[in-house]
Structure formats: C-alpha cells, structure tokens
Amino acid sequence: MQIEKTFIEGCFVLKPRIFKDERGSFFESFNANTFKEITGLQTDFVQDNQSISSKGILRGLHFQKGEYAQAKLVRVTKGSVLDVAVDLRQDSPTLGKHFAIELNDQNNYQLFVPRGFAHGFVVLSDEAIFNYKCDNYYNKEAESGIIYNDPELSIDWKIKTSEIKVSEKDSELRFYKDLA
C-alpha cells in the first residue's frame, strides 16, 4: 500500500497495490501497522458506515463537534464520487482550504480525513456505494455542517449545479463564515 500526504496536514490518500490474475483481483484496503508507520497516526476505528446514492446526490459537508469529532477513512466500492475534505482546525495553516479527489471502484483509492474537518461527496456515476470507517461514534446532538455551495470555499464539484441533489437538511446548512 502506498500512502501519500496531501497539501493539508493530516489528510492522506491511500493507494492499494492491486493484484490481478485470471481469477479477478485482490488488494489490502487497510493495514493499521503500515498506516501508523507511514503517517505516525494510531487509529482505532469503531464504526463502519455505508451509503448507496444515485448520480448527482451530494452528501455534506458534515462534521461532528467537540468530543464527538470523527476521523474517517472513506472509499467507494461501486461507482465514482468526488470526495471533499475541508480543514476546520483553528490552528491549521490550511484553515478553510479543501482537498478534493475522485474515489472510484477502478482506482480503489481511499482518503483519510482527520478529526477537525468537514466532509462531503457527490456521486459522479449512475450509482455509488460509499463506505467509511470512523474513529468515534456518531452523536446526533454534535452534528453540524457547511452548505456545499459556500462561495467562500469555492468547491468545484465536477458536476453541473443543475444535476446536484441535496437533502432538505443539507440545503439548510450554514455558511463557513457563520461557524462559531
């Protein structure tokens, strides 16, 4: 497995070594020892989640506040998404910046999103199965988010605005500048 730093400290792209033969393919999707050796981070994932969405569905930008903050390891097992992580760490030199990457069932890349980030994705294929591991349990009272089309963040979602579909709840999220 190859693990690459992004321009945002603590955010990593995991690229598996894929073995293919006449039977199909195999790859190791995560190895805690390798992850810790390369990143210096110890992770203890406690919750796995999966969503199935159709083209244009945008989920995000979500985060958990305070003691319920979550680090996530995200991947796509079917289809393709544009995955986005926004740095919300007050002491970070990349505060308010975002990292975006296409995750799909062909490249099998994963993105490690540390605590202190808002996270979201939009489905680029007809359908996508999105999986993610979290290092902390979900808490409804701690959930928050930023509106996906915040002009200050200026995220290019790589899809026409007219094709984007968000939940009613996500359409009412706040602007980045209004986070307290």
Q: What is the pLDDT along the chain (180 residues), one digit of tens a residue?
A: 899 999 999 999 999 999 989 998 899 899 999 999 999 999 999 999 999 999 999 999 999 999 999 999 999 999 999 999 999 999 999 999 999 999 999 999 999 999 999 999 999 999 999 999 999 999 999 999 999 999 999 999 999 999 999 999 999 999 999 986
Residue of 62, 98, 109, 119 with catalytic role: 62
Rg, Å, the chain Cα set: 16
Domains and CATH numbers, the chain: 45-178 (2.60.120.10)
> Is 132 tagged catalytic?
yes
118: burial class by Cβ within 10 Å (0-12, 13-18, 19+)?
buried
Determine the Cα–Cα distance for residues 134 and 117; give it in Å rounded to an integer: 13
> Is 98 tagged catalytic?
no
Determine the Cα–Cα distance for residues 11 and 119; give it in Å rounded to an integer: 12
pLDDT of 1: 87
pTM of the entire structure? 0.93
Q: How many residues does the chain have?
A: 180
Dump strand ranges (E) for the chain. 2-5, 12-15, 19-21, 24-26, 47-54, 58-64, 72-78, 80-87, 98-104, 110-113, 117-123, 127-134, 143-145
Residue of 98, 109, 119, 132 with catalytic role: 132
Task: Name the phi and psi angles at 106, rounded to 5.
Answer: -100, -45
pLDDT of 120: 98
pLDDT of 157: 98
81: burial class by Cβ within 10 Å (0-12, 13-18, 19+)?
buried
